[in-house]
Structure 1
Amino acid sequence: MDSLTQIVLGAAVGEAVLGRKVGNKAMLYGAIAGTIPDLDVLASHFTDTVTALSIHRGFTHSIIFSILFAVIFGWIISRFESYKSFKGWFSLFFWAFVTHPILDAHTTWGTQLFWPFDIRLAFKTIFVIDPLYTLPFLIFLILAMRHKRHTKKRRLYNNLGLLISTFYLVITFFLKWLAFTKFESALKEQNINYLKIDTRPSPLNTILWSANIETNDAYLLGNYSFFDTKPIRFEIYPKRHDLLGDLKTNEDVLRMIKTCEGWYTINKVNEDYYFNDLRFGLMSLEPNSENFVFKYKIIVNDNDKVQFEEVQKDRRDGKKLLTDLWKRLKGN
C-alpha cells in the first residue's frame, strides 16, 4: 500500500500495543515502523531492474524481518526511552512490521511473507491506493490522538479504525468473488476457451474490476463495473513470445518472466523489442492500446547480457486514465 496508509496502520497498531503506556510516542514509533519495510525500494539505485523487481517486497516484508528487526529496534528504544520494557517495545515494532506485509499481501504485487520460501502472497483484492480504506482509518486515528492516553474514547476510536479497515479488507474478497463470477460467466456466454483468469481492482476503488485471461496464443483483457448494464468486452493481445527467440532461455529473461508470473507480451517497435507486464494493466482504456503500466525495453549488450529498461510513464496519460476510469466505473 501507499506510504500514508502504512503510516496510519503502523500508528494505529503502535497505539493498540503501547498507547496506554507511552501515549503519542506509541503512534510515532508505530508510524516509523510502518514505513521501514518499504525501504527495499532503494535497491533499484544499486542493482539491475530484474533484481530490484524480484527482491521488492521480499526480505523486508517477511516474518523473519519482523522478528529480527523488532528485537533490534525494541532493544535500542528501550535503552533511552523512559519506558524501559524491552518486551513492550519489541511487541510494538513486531506488530507494526508484520501488519505492513500482511496488508500489502492484498495488493496485486503481493509480498514474500514467508521468505526465504519462494511464496508470494498476492490476494489482489485492493489497489495500492484506496481512499475507502485509508480515509476512515485516518479520521479515527486523528480522533484518538485528541484524547489523553488513559481515556476510553482514545482506545475506542483507535479500535474502530482498526476494525473498520479490517472489515473493508474482508469485504474486498467478496467483491473480488462477485467480479470473478461475472468475468467467468461472460467468457462462457461468448464461448471463449481459456487457460486461466486473474482479476484485480482498478485504481482507487473496488467497484471497477479488471481481468487478464490467458488463451493458447493470446491474452484477453476486460473490465467490469458493478454498475454495468452491457456485456463485458474483451480486448485481444497476442502473446508474441516467439519474438524473444533465443532469449527465451536467458537467465535474466526467465527471472523477469517469473517475476510477472508469466503474464507478459512482447512487441516490436521499429528495431526495438519491449516486454509488457500485464499484471497491472494499461495506462489507457482505449481499444487495442499497447500503453502498459509497466513496459520495459529489452537491451542486449555485446556480452549477451540482457537488461530491462523501464519506459517512463507520461503524467498526461495518468491524468486521462483517472478521468476515463471514473467514467467507466459508473457503468458501460
Structure 2
Amino acid sequence: MDSLTQIVLGAAVGEAVLGKKAGNKAMLYGAIAGTIPDLDVYIGKFFDTVTALEIHRGFTHSIFFAIVFGWIFGWLISLYEKNASTKEWAKLMFWGFLTHPILDAHTTWGTQLFWPLDIRLAFKNIFVIDPLYTLPFLIFLLMAMSQRKGTAKRRKYNNLGLIVSTSYMAITIIIKGITYTKFEQALKEQGITYEEIVTKPTPFNTILWSANVETENAYLIGYYSFFDSKPIEFYSYPKNHHLLGAYKNDILVKRLIKITKGWYTISEKNNALYLNDLRFGLLSVRPNFQQFAFSFEIGKKHDKTIINEVPRNREEAKQLLKDLWVRIQGN
C-alpha cells in the first residue's frame, strides 16, 4: 500500500499495543515501523532493474524481519524511552513491521511474508491506493490523537479505525468473489475457452474491476463495473512470446518472467523489444489501449543483456483518472 496508509496503520497498531503507557509516542514509533519495510525501494536503487524488483517486498516484508528487527529496534528505542520496557517496545515494532506486509499481501504485487521461502502472497483484492480504506482510518486516528493518553475515548476511536479498515478489507474480498463470478459467466456465455483467469480492482476504487484471461495464444483483458448495463467485452493482446528469440534462454530475462508469474506479452516498437507485465494492467481502461503500466525494454550493451523499465509521466496518470471516472459509471 502507499506510504500514508502504512503510516496510519502503523500508528494505530502502535497505539493499540502501547498507547496506554506511551501515548502519542506509541503512535510515532508505530508510524516509523509502518514505514521502514518500504526502505527496500531505496536499497533497490543500488542494483539493476530486475534485482530491484526481486528485492522489493522481499526480506523487509517478512515475518523473519519483523521478529529479528523488532527486537533490535525495540532495544534501541528503550535506551532513551524509559516509559516502557525493551520487551514492550520490541512488541510494538514487531507488530508495526508485521502488519505492513500483511496489508501489502492484499495488493497485486504481494509480499514474501515467508521469506526466505520463494512464496509471494498476492490476494489482489485492493489497489495500492484506496481512499475508502485510508481516509476513514486516518480520521479515527486523528480523533484518537486528540484525546488524552490512556482514556477510554482514545482507545475507542483507535479501535474503531482498526475495525472499520479491517471490515472494508473483508468487504473487498467478498466483492472480488462476486466480480470473479461475473467474469466467469461472461466467458462462458461468449463461448471463450481459457486456461486461467485473474481479477483485480482498477486504481483507487473497488467498483470497477479488471480480469486478465489466459488463452492459448493471447491474453484477454476485460472490465466490469457494478454500474454496467451491457455485457462484458474482452480485448485480445497476443502473447508474442516467440519474439524473445534468443533472449528466452537469457538468465536475466528468465528472472523477469518469473517476477511476472508468466503474465506477460512481448511487443516490438522502433526496433526495440519490450516485455509487458500484465498483472498491473494498462494505463487506460479504454478499449484496445496498448500501453501497459509496467513495461520493460530488453536490449544488449557490450554483449550484455540490459533491461530498463519504461518510465511513466504525469499526463498518463491524469488521463487514466479521467478514463476511470467515465468507465466506473458503467458501459
Given the two structures, how large is their TM-score scaled by the length of structure 1? 0.98
Question: 1:259 maps to which residue?
Answer: 259
Question: 2:314 maps to which residue?
Answer: 315
Residues 55-94 of structure 1: matches in 2 within 5 Å?
A: 55-94=55-94
Residues 233-252 of structure 1: matches in 2 within 5 Å?
A: 233-252=233-252
Give, in angstroms, the shift of residue 316 of structure 1: 1.1
Q: For residues 225-249 of structure 1, give each alpha carbon's deviation from its aligned partner in whole angstroms, at most 9, with x where no partner exists.
A: 0111100001100000000011111
2:140/2:160 contact within 8 Å kept: yes
Consecutive aligned runs of 4 or more in structure 1 exceeding 4 Å deviation: none
Question: 2:296 maps to which residue?
Answer: 296
Q: For residues 97-140 of structure 1, give each alpha carbon's deviation from its aligned partner in whole angstroms, at most 9, with x where no partner exists.
A: 00000000000000000000000000000000000000000000
| Unaligned ranges ≥5, structure 2 | none
| Mapped partners of 2:299, 2:231: distance in 1 | 41
Give, in angstroms, the shift of residue 285 of structure 1: 2.4
Question: 1:327 maps to which residue?
Answer: 326
Question: 1:124 maps to which residue?
Answer: 124
| Mapped partners of 2:233, 2:84: distance in 1 | 61
| Mapped partners of 2:185, 2:238: distance in 1 | 23
| Mapped partners of 1:314, 1:235: distance in 2 | 25
Number of matched pairs: 331
| Mapped partners of 2:182, 2:84: distance in 1 | 55
Residues 1-332 of structure 1: matches in 2 within 5 Å?
A: 1-303=1-303, 305-332=304-331
Give, in angstroms, the shift of residue 315 of structure 1: 1.4
Give, in angstroms, the shift of residue 84 of structure 1: 4.3
The residue identity in structure 2 corresponding to 1:70 is G
The residue identity in structure 2 corresponding to 1:143 is M
Given the two structures, how large is their TM-score scaled by the length of structure 2? 0.99
| Mapped partners of 1:89, 1:248: distance in 2 | 49
Give, in angstroms, the shift of residue 270 of structure 1: 2.2
| Mapped partners of 1:307, 1:181: distance in 2 | 41
The residue identity in structure 2 corresponding to 1:3 is S
| Mapped partners of 1:270, 1:52: distance in 2 | 27
Structure 2 CA distance for partners of 1:123 and 1:55, relative to 1, 3 Å:
same
| Mapped partners of 2:159, 2:284: distance in 1 | 40
Computed over aligned residues only, the root mean square deviation of the Cα atoms, in angstroms, reads 0.8
Q: For residues 251-298 of structure 1, give each alpha carbon's deviation from its aligned partner in whole angstroms, at most 9, with x where no partner exists.
A: 111100010110100011121111101111111223322211011111
The residue identity in structure 2 corresponding to 1:63 is I
| Mapped partners of 1:312, 1:79: distance in 2 | 44
| Mapped partners of 2:36, 2:313: distance in 1 | 29
What SS is found at the alignment partner of 1:211? strand
2:286/2:323 contact within 8 Å kept: no
Give, in angstroms, the shift of residue 201 of structure 1: 0.3
What SS is found at the alignment partner of 1:94? helix
| Unaligned ranges ≥5, structure 1 | none
Give, in angstroms, the shift of residue 320 of structure 1: 1.1
Give, in angstroms, the shift of residue 196 of structure 1: 0.2
